[in-house]
Amino acid sequence: MTDLPPPFPGPLAVERSALRTPDDVDRMLQLHALGWGVKRIARELGCAKNTVKKYVTQGDWRPAAPVARVGVLDALQPWLAACFHQHHGNADVVRQALLREHQLTVSLRTVERAVAPLRQALRAAARATVRFETRPGQQLQIDFGERSVVIAGVKERVYCFVATLGYSRRLHVRVFLHARQTAWLEGLESTFTAFGGVPETVLLDNAKALVVRHVVATREVTFHPRLLAFAQHWGFRPIACAPYRAQTKGKDERGVGYVKHKALAGHTFDSFAALEAHLVQWTREVADVRVHGTTGEAPIARFTRDEADTLAPLASRASFQPTREWVRRVQVDCTIELHRNWYSVPWRYLGETVRVQQHGERVTITYGAAIIADHHIAVGTRVRRVDPAHLVGITARAHGEASAERVLPAATLLRPLAEYGIAAGETPCGVAA
């Protein structure tokens, strides 16, 4: 006697579509092979006999053929694609054009479904970027990045100017307390000096300090007049990257992130000068000698071999930034005042007359021919720039000692008491006039 397959667990009160699975069809074919009739199989499985007949005739399970649906907009696909791109992907404008030009009333959702593949292609085209490799000396990319850094125990927001040569990927980094136009220009001048030459073009961001107007549709750019004068002075051509397309200057965008996360993250500094010195050392010992992921070479090696000689020589050109000069007297708190801000000098120059120069973002203080102090310019008013080294020997805090003994400066640097008497209206002999 032929063995029957295990009994099916009772009639199935399920949807017909639930039976149309590979397991259900296999069961039908097994029962039919044992000699069961179509009606008996249908009763056993709880389905229509035509369903059994269909799969027995086919001999196997096959997915249902999709139902072809003709969309109301299928015949207008070429026109739909042209209209969609003309109106920059605005489906509602396309819907209005359908009513106006084809007297066809459809819902916005119908239009959105019809243009879904077109919209996907449009988004892909917007994201896609072709890598642009420049020849040696052709392009320099510049940008600013912000970072909070602890300086002398106080958290300050600093702005890192990062310049990247397009061919060698060599970096130059400067740090400022703002990102105004003077910082952009001083950063560029510092870059030209560090690299020993000027590239053909400088690709920059659309910062208001540099670009007055940039029309997205026509790519018409109006640069700031001072930037144009600066570019003419140094002999390069400025180029503004496409608005909202940071990847246009992707080499420098990655460079800014590299500096923020590798050179500054987790570091604290005793002074602003210490921060600047750290960036110089980090650039020389880390950024210049690392193996770049794209070029496979150290930037300094690639620069020295292929790019250094392609930069336009500086030709002893003077700085574009003007130098301003003032004469000040050192106050009793060992500072000089400039534009309602205060800058420290070594306490031994108390009461002396010094010369103060501002060049770009630096304030330099000289006594005779010697430079006795150099500070980054203060931003705002009532800001004190104090170098702790200038106070060593005058307070115990500068020494880090427990004693609070105050060491007075040499008497030869103080004004004679007779001068104060004369200023008060006394005669030299001490009698009031």
Task: Reply yes or no on whether the pLDDT at 40 is more than 50.
Answer: yes
**Could you give the C-alpha distances from 61 to 19, 22, 28, 31, 381, in angstroms and in order?**
11, 6, 10, 15, 83
Residue 185 token pair: 């220009």
Q: What is the pLDDT of residue 419?
A: 59
Structural Rg of the chain based on CA atoms: 39
User: What are 217-239's pLDDT values in tens digits?
Assistant: 777 899 999 999 999 999 999 99
Q: Which is it for the CA torsion 393, 397, 402, 404, positive or negative?
A: positive
Residues in the chain: 433
Confidence of residue 45 (pLDDT cuts 50, 70, 90): confident
Does residue 427 register a pLDDT over 70?
no
Pairing of strands 139-151, 201-204: parallel
Q: What one-character-per-residue DSSP string does 81-127 give?
A: HHHHHHTTT-HHHHHHHHHHHH-----HHHHHHHTHHHHHHHHHHHH
Q: Decide which of 387 and 243 is more confident.
A: 387
Among 64-73, 169-178, 309-318, the minimum mean pLDDT is found in: 64-73
When mean pLDDT is compared over 112-116, 155-159, 204-208, 299-303, the highest value belongs to 299-303
Which tens digits make up the pLDDT trace of 83-101?
888 888 888 988 998 889 8
User: H-helix or E-strand containing 325?
Assistant: strand 323-329
Q: Which CATH class is domain 1-62?
A: mainly alpha
Calpha distance 289→282 (Å, rounded): 10
Overall average pLDDT of the 306-324 stretch: 86
Structure tokens at 273: 């000068």
Facing residues of 344 across strands?
335
| Separation of alpha carbons 109 and 72, rounded Å | 13
pLDDT of residue 12: 42
Distance from C-alpha of 173 to C-alpha of 282, rounded to nearest angstrom: 10
CA 377 to chain centre: 25
Q: Kindly list the domain boundaries of the chain, sorted by start residue.
A: 1-62, 78-127, 139-310, 325-413
The position carrying tokens 């229509």 is: 48
Q: Residue 354, SS3?
A: strand
Q: What pLDDT shows up at residue 318? A: 81
Helix (H, G, I), strand (E, B) or coil at 92: helix
Residue 171 φ/ψ, nearest 5 degrees: -105, 150
Identify the band that residue 410 occupies on the pLDDT scale cut at 50, 70 and 90. very low
Residue type, 99: L
Whether 306 has a pLDDT exceeding 80, the answer reads yes
**Domain 139-310, CATH number (from 3.90.550.10, 3.30.420.10, 1.10.3720.10, 1.10.150.240):** 3.30.420.10
Give the model's pLDDT for residue 321. 78
Least confident of 49-53, 74-78, 235-239: 74-78
